[in-house]
Amino acid sequence: MRFVKRLVRAKSDGLAKAQAKERYVQKWYAQAKCSPVQTISAPSISRRFRAIVLILILASGSIALAPQVWAQSPGLPKINLQQPNPINFSQLNDSEVDTGEVQLDGRDLFAIAAPNLSQVPNSPNATPIQQRIKGVEETLERIASSNFDPKTLEVTAEIDQSSNLPVISINDQYLMTVTTLDAQLQVQDLDRWANNLTDIIKRALIRAHQERQPEFLTRQGGVAAGTLLAMVCGSWGTTRLRQRLKARKKRLEAQIPPDPDVSTKPAGKTDSKTITTLQQQRTQRRHRDVSDVQHRLLQVGQAGIWAGGTFAILGMFPYTRYLQPLVLSTPLKLLAVGLVTYLLIRLSDVLIDRFSGALVEESFLDAAASQRLALRVSTFSRVLQSGAAVIWIVVGLLAGLSVVGVDLIPLVAGAGIIGLAISFAAQSLIKDMINGFLILSEDQYAVGDVITIGNVSGFVENMNLRITQLRNSEGQLITIPNSTITVVQNLSKDWSRVDLAIDLAYGTDPDHALEVIRQLAQEMYDDREWRSKMPDPPDVLGIDEVNHNGILIRVWIKTLPLQQWVVAREFRRRLALALKREGLAIGVPQQSLWFRSSADPDLENLDGNLDGNLDSNLDGNHASRNDARHSDVRHSDVRHSDANRLPGAILKGQA
């Protein structure tokens, strides 16, 4: 029985330690409810009674098992006493500790800590740190609103005998217990931090009492009225500026010239102004973007005036100061992120346009290089603006996720896997972008060029890394994915050429015709209006063909880009006048017909044979058509009586 008594005593000691740990955990919940009796007093009679009953039950169980335990006395360490596993607060990790700020009238006073017991079964919905903060703040608010006398206010810190922890009281009213975690959070020892807390709490209560006095509220009301008046005036001025900028933006948009309507055979007047039109578009769009950025900045400024003024007014009164965090709440932060992202996109557009404009306007570039560079820069600027917009949108999305509270480190770490998955799912898109980049880098064509891709051709109206859009002569907009572009015919890069083929009649004197055409080409080249469009004199190559149409003379005229059609039209007009003046006929297809005299017996026999064959092999309708053909032949004999006098004569006529 002596051994059983020692065993019961050991179990009692273990149970007492477990109950002490349990009381320590329950202390966190008791603090939130502001119940000093449950937190710092000795165990109640009911607890003692439950402990005594539990000891008696354990003792009776040990007596019942005494023979077995006595027989296994050498194996005493193997006995499972079924002790609860208390929480060791000194070995808690940072992830197992929650911290929070205690506030009074919307101002942060001090930080406190509590173990994270949210995963403990049967725990309340509110965490220990939330319950503790709520209890302390309610007590402070109740005391601050009690109209106490600041002269008699006493905030003390005394050591509790049961827990050996400082307990802070206000005028003998329990406030909180300073724990070891609180002191460790401030990197101070327990007593020193408790003394500091008494000073912090006393100053905060005195300030809260002063801010609740009628004199203070009246003075703050006047300041709030002045602030509100300043907000209204600032908002009115900002609105007037926004209206002016909006009207200016509309004027700039109206001044932007429309896209040049150029096809594979554009009008000459449009061709001569294509480059100028693109430059004017870029300049006007740059001014429009600057005006738009200013307009958006004023919008942000106006929103900032109201948000800042509201934030300041709410902070002037103790009863509304707790609403200040709502001004900086998550929806408003997301709205601010969206506005900043939009402003960055517009600002990048303006900077890209300014850089491209400065690049084109460099003085060391000649005219031809400037025109070509204007086309390339116009294309590159659009692509760069699109790329910059995508980058800023991605940055804005990441910033928005960060504001919401999403941890970006795992997201960035998984970006490689996500990118790999996207690459497999969007292979055609990647091919389009790669081919588009190669087209731009190799300067195969640019916006403003006239190109032919496969069986479609037109004016390059829009281009980015994914698609190319052409406008043909019928006004149709043709969209071509860049990955499908393999062979490109650029009709307007660097310089162009008119390939003119002139057909003259068979009997034309070749030397005379060549002389007339050379003289015409030189006259047109000497004309100032047209010489500016032709870098070199026209080249009359000579006679390329001699056929049944006559003779074919080929002329090459080198022109500036997009000027080949207007030069060709003017050259044809002058050529028609010169040929008419010199009596040179245009070549026509030739056909030879052989006729014999009607008195020739061979012809009569031939007619009889034909009539017999037709009557025997064809029906009546075919026979009638045959008679009509014979009638036509006889009429032809009448018309060409001169030729009938000379059998075997060759007649030339138009096919």
Q: What is the mean pLDDT of residues 157-183?
A: 89
Kindly report the average pLDDT of the chain as a whole number: 73
Helix (H, G, I), strand (E, B) or coil at 126: coil
Quote the CA–CA distance of 419 and 414 in Å, as a whole number: 9
Instruction: For residues 476 and 469, give the distance between their C-alpha atoms in angstroms, rounded to a whole number.
Output: 10
Q: Where are the domains of the chain?
A: 2-78, 92-211, 263-405, 414-492, 496-582, 591-655
Specify the 3-state DSSP secondary structure of 174.
Answer: strand
d(Cα 301, Cα 164) in Å, to the nearest integer?
A: 56
Encode pLDDT of 418-460 as tens digits: 777 777 777 888 888 888 888 888 888 888 889 999 889 998 8
Residue 366: burial class (beta carbons within 10 Å; 0-12, 13-18, 19+)? exposed
Q: What are the tens digits of pLDDT across the range 471-482?
A: 988 889 999 999
Structure tokens of 93?
């990790």
pLDDT of 124 reads: 52
Alpha-carbon distance 522 to 571, whole Å?
11
Burial code (b: 16+ CB inside 10 Å, e: under 16) for 150-185 equals eeeeebbbeebeebebbbbbbeeebbbbbbebbbbb
Better-scored residue on pLDDT, 344 or 32:
344
At residue 334, the pLDDT reads 84
Query: Is the model's pLDDT at 508 over the cut of 60?
Result: yes
Q: What percent of the chain has pLDDT over 70?
A: 65
Q: Phi, psi at residue 505, to the nearest 5°?
A: -60, 160
User: Phi/psi class of residue 82: alpha, beta or left (left: φ > 0; alpha: ψ in -120 to 50)?
Assistant: left
CA atoms lying within 13 Å on the CB side of residue 488: 28
Q: Are 439 and 445 in contact (CB under 8 A)?
A: yes
Question: Interhelix angle for 510-526 vs 564-582, to 10°?
Answer: 130
Per-residue confidence (pLDDT) for residue 324, from 0 to 100 = 81
Please tell me whether the overall predicted TM-score, pTM, comes out greater than 0.75 for this model: no
**Higher-pLDDT residue of 59, 381:** 381
pLDDT > 90 fraction of the chain, expressed in percent and rounded: 16
Could you tell me if 23 and 39 are in contact, meaning their C-beta atoms sit under 8 angstroms apart?
no
pLDDT at 442: 84
Provide DSSP, 592-634.
Answer: ------TT-HHHHHHHHHHHHHHHHHS-HHHHHHHHHHHHHHH
Q: Which DSSP symbol is given to 587?
A: P
Tens digits of residue pLDDT in 574-603: 999 999 998 888 877 766 676 666 555 554
pLDDT tens string 323-334 = 887 777 777 788
Output the pLDDT for position 375: 64
> What pLDDT was estimated at residue 276?
63
pLDDT tens digits, 295-341:
778 888 888 888 888 888 988 888 888 888 777 777 778 888 888 88
Averaged pLDDT, 83-102: 60
The residues that bridge with 378 in the sheet, in sequence order, are none
CATH 1.10.4190.10 matches 496-582? no
Which whole number is the average pLDDT over 152-172?
A: 89
Phi-psi region of 553 (alpha: psi -120 to 50; beta: other; left: phi over 0): beta
pLDDT at 271 over 70: no
pLDDT > 80? residue 62: no
Confidence band of 368 (pLDDT split at 50, 70, 90): low
Sheet with 173-177: list strands edge to edge: 155-159, 166-170, 173-177
pLDDT given at position 554: 93
Query: Which listed CATH number (2.60.34.10, 2.30.30.60, 3.40.50.300, 2.30.30.90) goes with 414-492?
Result: 2.30.30.60
Segment among 356-370, 431-445, 540-554 with least mean pLDDT: 356-370
